Amino acid sequence: MSQNRRIFLSPPHMGANEQKYINEAFEANYITSAGEQLEKFEAEAKEFTKTKYAIAVSCGTAAIHLALRANDIKDGDEVLASSFTFIGSIAPILYERCTPVFIDSDEDSWNLDPLLLLEELASRAKNGTKMPKALILTHLYGQMAKIDEIKAICDKYNILLIEDSAESLGATFHGKHSGTFGQIGIYSFNGNKIITTSGGGMVVTDDEKLAREIKFLSTQAREPYAHYEHETFGYNYRMSNILAAIGRGQMEVLEDRINRRREIFDLYKESLKEINGIGYMPEIPNSVGNRWLSCIVFDEKLPITPEEIRLELENHNIESRPLWKPMHMQPVFKTAKVVASGVSERLFERGLCLPSGTAMSNDDVIRVAEIIKNTIKSKIKI
Ligand SMILES: *Cc1c(COP(=O)(O)O)cnc(C)c1O
């Protein structure tokens, strides 16, 4: 029977207290986008990430949109961004009618290559070309980008740094949290993320003015009058108090979830070690990732494509997925500027995300690895 139970890529995994906090919200009759659960969830997020301000919103994409709006980035401004990422990181650039400029990845982090970033900014500075306003930097699959180098470059050229930490809540570099290096960081609590509120997001910042503006814009930009007075427009982006209750329960188990994701990654690596030609998503020195998804890459020398492996896993009712298709390869961005190295294209062609849900048993992980091994070995024999 258990052979037929579907293994999903990254399903929700509730802790012990989510329902209890939902019940508290019901008892208080705060079935709305304000209330004690929201306040507590935000306080817990601040405490965990050691930031001064946290604003809970409807999703990670909305959080990035608010980051751009609050900084008045709009109408033809250029915004630098990681090319190797998910569309939710980039769509807000289009919401504000801005122009994305994509920066490719490097081999040793799979994340944005600081040298390409520097090359782009230095050449603009030299030629006196207009500078981009911001960088949206993704820490992919829970693993830290080279944040110290990237931050230094942004500071040098006066570029606002927005950290897309949607996938990397709890990841650290020198003990400092992903999302807390730039002026603004964002997290996602979508159903597939390391912790979830079904759908949801959070903005964190140490800047009081930005925090106030983001809260204001997320709640329809209402001026402080008894009636509804508007000097500008905002959004209905606030998180629900019910979903914040789920978030509180999830925060209690976040450390456990990170530890388990890291164990799952290590177990895949151990189980697959006899196969030469499998590479693993790196972890840069002095960082600890959350290993949201265990990602591997198959060397061109192996007689198999990641798609063949994916289909074989699917035959066993196991979900896996190609790595993100880089933004500069997407039809919607076919005319966008990209500083390319070829790294993310190769990762997309040769990579695979393995099931990484924290409720998976070790036997499940080993079974997935066995199927991968057997599929490769069967090809080698022929
Ligand atoms: C999930 C995700 C987002 C968007 O978050 P939502 O809560 O789904 O809107 C943005 N960027 C990255 C890298 C993501 O993985």
Residues ≥6 apart with Cβ < 8 Å to 189:
60, 195, 196, 197, 198, 199, 200, 201, 202, 243, 247, 250
* 327 backbone dihedrals φ, ψ, rounded to 5°: -60, -35
Are 56 and 177 part of one and the same domain?
yes
Statement: residue 33 has pLDDT above 60: yes
Among positive and negative, which fits the CA dihedral 98, 184, 112, 280? negative
Are 260 and 285 part of one and the same domain?
yes
Q: What is the mean pLDDT of the chain?
A: 97
* Separation of CA 89 and ligand 1 centre (Å): 6
Distance CA 275, CA 292 (A): 23
> Distance of CA 376 to CAs 69, 194, 269, 311, Å?
49, 30, 15, 13
In a domain, 6, yes or no: no
**CATH number of the domain within which 266 lies:** 3.90.1150.10
Least confident of 237-246, 314-323, 331-340, 372-381: 372-381
* Separation of CA 277 and ligand 1 centre (Å): 30
* Separation of CA 61 and ligand 1 centre (Å): 6
Probe target for ligand 1 pocket from 86, 93, 195, 246, with the most ligand atoms within 8 Å of CB: 86
Are 169 and 22 part of one and the same domain?
yes
**Which residue owns the Cα nearest ligand 1 atom 5?**
60
Helices and strands: H and E segment counts in the chain: 11, 14
362: number of Cβ within 10 Å: 11
pLDDT of residue 289: 98
Are 322 and 205 part of one and the same domain?
no
Percentage of the residues of the chain whose pLDDT score is greater than 90: 98
Residue 318: which of 1, 3, 40 has the closest Cα? 3
Are 329 and 223 part of one and the same domain?
no
* CA within 13 Å, CB half, 49: 31
Residue 288: which of 271, 306, 266, 317 has the closest Cα? 266
Are 206 and 338 part of one and the same domain?
no
> Distance of CA 321 to CAs 69, 294, 313, Å?
33, 11, 10
Ligand 1 atom nearest residue 200's Cα: 7
pTM listed for this prediction: 0.97
Q: Which residue ranges have their beta carbon within 6 Å of ligand 1?
A: 59-61, 85-86, 88-89, 138, 164, 166-167, 188, 190, 201
> Distance of CA 218 to CAs 122, 179, 236, 351, Å?
35, 19, 6, 37
Q: What angle do CA 206, 198, 320 make, to 5 degrees?
A: 105
* Separation of CA 88 and ligand 1 centre (Å): 5
SS3 212: helix
Are 296 and 358 part of one and the same domain?
yes
**Which residue owns the Cα nearest ligand 1 atom 11?**
89
pLDDT of residue 42: 98
Instruction: Report how many domains make up the chain.
Output: 2
Are 221 and 322 part of one and the same domain?
no
The domain of 360 spans 254-377
In a domain, 13, yes or no: no
Are 78 and 146 part of one and the same domain?
yes
**Confidence class of residue 3 from pLDDT cuts 50, 70 and 90?**
low
Residue 180: which of 150, 204, 152, 214 has the closest Cα? 204
Ligand 1 atom nearest residue 140's Cα: 13
Probe target for ligand 1 pocket from 10, 66, 89, with the most ligand atoms within 8 Å of CB: 89
Six-digit token pair at 340? Answer: 């390319």
Adjacent-strand bridge partners of 97 = none
In a domain, 112, yes or no: yes
Statement: residue 382 has pLDDT above 80: no
Lateral strand order in the sheet of 294-298:
278-280, 294-298, 351-354
In a domain, 382, yes or no: no
* Separation of CA 188 and ligand 1 centre (Å): 6
In a domain, 122, yes or no: yes
Six-digit token pair at 376? Answer: 């490769």
Distance CA 258, CA 142 (A): 10
The residue out of 251, 270, 293 marking a domain boundary is: 251
Are 124 and 218 part of one and the same domain?
yes
pLDDT of residue 380: 79
Statement: residue 379 has pLDDT above 90: no
Q: For residues 340-347, give the mean pLDDT.
A: 98
The residue out of 228, 251, 274 marking a domain boundary is: 251
Q: Residue 217 gets which letter from DSSP?
A: H
* Separation of CA 65 and ligand 1 centre (Å): 12
In a domain, 242, yes or no: yes
Q: Report how far Cα 349 is from the mean position of its chain's Cα atoms.
A: 20
Are 246 and 268 part of one and the same domain?
no
**Which residue owns the Cα nearest ligand 1 atom 14?**
166
**CATH number of the domain within which 130 lies:** 3.40.640.10
In a domain, 187, yes or no: yes
In a domain, 1, yes or no: no
The residue out of 227, 251, 275 marking a domain boundary is: 251
Are 161 and 265 part of one and the same domain?
no
Statement: residue 381 has pLDDT above 90: no
Query: 75 in the Ramachandran plot: left (φ > 0), alpha (ψ -120 to 50) or beta?
Result: left
